[in-house]
Amino acid sequence: MTTEKIPDIIIGRLPIYLRALQRLSDQGIQTTSSQDLGEVVGISAAQIRKDISQFGEFGKQGTGYSIAYLIEKLKDILKMDRVWEVIIVGMGDIGHALAHYNGFANRGFHVSMVFDNDPKKVGKTVGDFRVLDTASMIEKIKQHKIKVAVLTVPATSAQEAADLLVKAGIKAILNYAPISINVPEDVKVQYVDPVTHLQRMTYYL
């Protein structure tokens, strides 16, 4: 099985399939078809078959996909066969919400540290975490070999914080700050900005 050169748009759909399959599995369902899965995720059956076939032959004509097997394969492809340590940078409202979020643990991620540069926040407790000083961030990231960060600082601080993360060896940044950040080519960035998501929809209204 080769996982090279799969278009990014397909990679983007695989976590959606995985999430839906895990939910079906939680409900005790053991097999599914591209039609059924398509109805759950709102993607056409043909698209699902095409996406999944990129990675090998998973289903049998007429019997559908084994959910357990497909989950295992998707986890393998998405490197979810391990737990990724994650840090959160910025303990504002969104940082707080994510520090309290209990949906990471069973889906392949574990928040190991949270940071802020505000002396009023450093040392305080947020959920299960003691807030660490951003000044120690590079050292701590390197020490724990962390590769994944969630950035929840204000837009005005986002590039500076991203530069520190890159310097420390972070390779994937989930950026909640409403600003595009510049990083080297080998660092991946995903954006969460409620306004751009909303604007993408109002076009159609």
Only segment of 59-67, 75-83, 115-123, 134-142 that touches its own copies (CB under 8 A): 75-83
> Among candidates 135, 160, 152, which has minimal Cα distance to 191?
152
For 145, the 3-state DSSP assignment is coil
Q: Is 44 one of the binding residues for its own copies (CB under 8 A)?
A: no
Q: Is 190 one of the binding residues for its own copies (CB under 8 A)?
A: yes
Distance CA 136, CA 140 (A): 6
41, 17 Cβ separation under 8 angstroms: yes
Which one of residues 50, 60, 107, 130 is an interface residue with its own copies (CB under 8 A)? Answer: 107
Q: Is 204 one of the binding residues for its own copies (CB under 8 A)?
A: yes
115, 95 Cβ separation under 8 angstroms: no
Cβ distance to its own copies smaller for residue 33 or 108: 108
Distance CA 116, CA 20 (A): 34
Residue 172 burial (C-beta neighbours within 10 Å; 0-12, 13-18, 19+): middle
Which one of residues 52, 71, 94, 166 is an interface residue with its own copies (CB under 8 A)? Answer: 94
Q: Is 182 one of the binding residues for its own copies (CB under 8 A)?
A: yes
- Read off the tokens for 201: 């929809």
Q: Is 42 one of the binding residues for its own copies (CB under 8 A)?
A: yes
Which one of residues 77, 114, 158, 164 is an interface residue with its own copies (CB under 8 A)? Answer: 77
For 126, the 3-state DSSP assignment is strand
Only segment of 46-54, 59-67, 130-138, 190-198 that touches its own copies (CB under 8 A): 190-198
104, 127 Cβ separation under 8 angstroms: no
82, 108 Cβ separation under 8 angstroms: yes
Shortest approach of its own copies to residue 198 CB, angstroms?
6
Only segment of 18-26, 28-36, 54-62, 115-123 that touches its own copies (CB under 8 A): 18-26
- Contact positions vs its own copies (CB under 8 A): 3, 9, 11-12, 14-16, 18-20, 23, 39-42, 77-80, 84, 86, 92-94, 96-98, 100-101, 103-104, 107-109, 147-148, 150, 155, 171-172, 174, 178-180, 182, 188-205
